[in-house]
Chain A
Amino acid sequence: DAGVIQSPRHEVTEMGQEVTLRCKPISGHNSLFWYRQTMMRGLELLIYFNNNVPIDDSGMPEDRFSAKMPNASFSTLKIQPSEPRDSAVYFCASSLARDTEAFFGQGTRLTVV
């Protein structure tokens, strides 16, 4: 298996623009997570899906952030409008089931100027 696949790897956008990050989890995994990593706050969970249903979105910073999982093999994280403070590395991870080993993608480095 190719592992968790994220795209794009790097994204530079202007403040106010919409940004969409994409994730393909490992085939057969039922849980999907979006994390954000910054120097100041480390790794933080944004949202967690189980069987395509959002279970915990308490980490989503504000209404500008939204996430969807239309099917078991695809998820998106959208930021609209983007702000410079959203600059971070965004990771997608998946696991076979709840509370099993989590596997991370390579991340998307987002820079908002």
Chain B
Amino acid sequence: KQEVTQIPAALSVPEGENLVLNCSFTDSAIYNLQWFRQDPGKGLTSLLLIQSSQREQTSGRLNASLDKSSGRSTLYIAASQPGDSATYLCAISRGGSRLTFGEGTQLTVNP
């Protein structure tokens, strides 16, 4: 069974800091990996999707990397802002579209 782990569970940083969120998965036979953010009481917002054949994807201040062989992905956030405060979730697809989610990292960026 595919398991997805996110470390740390919570992270608090001062504004302006660069930070890295980690996601690991047990089965390297993935189809793609997707990063989401979830604001309190809201739905999930898709941030980045990395296909299994890709190593990284970038969108603005966000950069996601994927290392299938080691079963790891990282989400790098540059120059963090208070508006980045949210829970960040990674999810794995093994094909067939079912997403398996990690438990998330709750990020707080302090002004």
Question: Could you tell me if B97 and A104 are in contact, using CB atoms closer than 8 angstroms?
Answer: no
**Interface of A (DSSP majority class):** strand
* B14 CB to nearest chain A CB (Å): 28
Question: Could you tell me if B43 and A31 are in contact, using CB atoms closer than 8 angstroms?
Answer: no
What mask results when residues 88 to 111 of chain B are scored 1 for a CB within 8 Å of chain A, else 0? 010101011111011110000000
Question: Could you tell me if B97 and A33 are in contact, using CB atoms closer than 8 angstroms?
Answer: yes
Question: Could you tell me if B43 and A104 are in contact, using CB atoms closer than 8 angstroms?
Answer: yes
Closest to B49 in A: A101
Q: A99 touches which one: B44, B89, B95 (CB < 8 A)?
A: B95
Say yes or no: is A95 at the interface (Cβ < 8 Å to chain B): yes
Closest to A101 in B: B49
The size class of the interface chain A forms with chain B is: 20 to 34
What mask results when residues 71 to 113 of chain A are scored 1 for a CB within 8 Å of chain B, else 0? 0000000000000000000010101001111111111010000
The size class of the interface chain B forms with chain A is: 20 to 34
Among B42, B49, B97, which residue has the most Cβ atoms of chain A within 10 A?
B97
Question: Could you tell me if B99 and A102 are in contact, using CB atoms closer than 8 angstroms?
Answer: yes
What mask results when residues 40 to 57 of chain B are scored 1 for a CB within 8 Å of chain A, else 0? 011111100100000000
Closest to A32 in B: B97
Q: How far is the CA of A56 from the CA of B99 in the complex (A)?
A: 12
* A8 CB to nearest chain B CB (Å): 14
Closest to A31 in B: B97
Contact A91 to B43, CB < 8 A, known contacts A43-B89, A45-B99, A99-B95: yes
In the complex, 25 of the A-B residue pairs with CB atoms within 8 angstroms, ordered by the A residue number, are A42-B103, A43-B89, A43-B91, A43-B101, A45-B99, A55-B96, A91-B43, A93-B44, A98-B96, A98-B97, A99-B31, A99-B93, A99-B95, A99-B97, A101-B46, A101-B49, A102-B34, A102-B46, A102-B91, A102-B97, A104-B36, A104-B44, A104-B45, A105-B43, A109-B41
Chain B residues near A (Cβ < 8 Å):
31-32, 34, 36, 41-46, 49, 89, 91, 93, 95-99, 101-104
Q: Across the A-B interface, give the 6 residue pairs with the lowest CB-CB distance, nearest first.
A: A104-B44, A43-B101, A104-B43, A106-B43, A101-B49, A98-B97
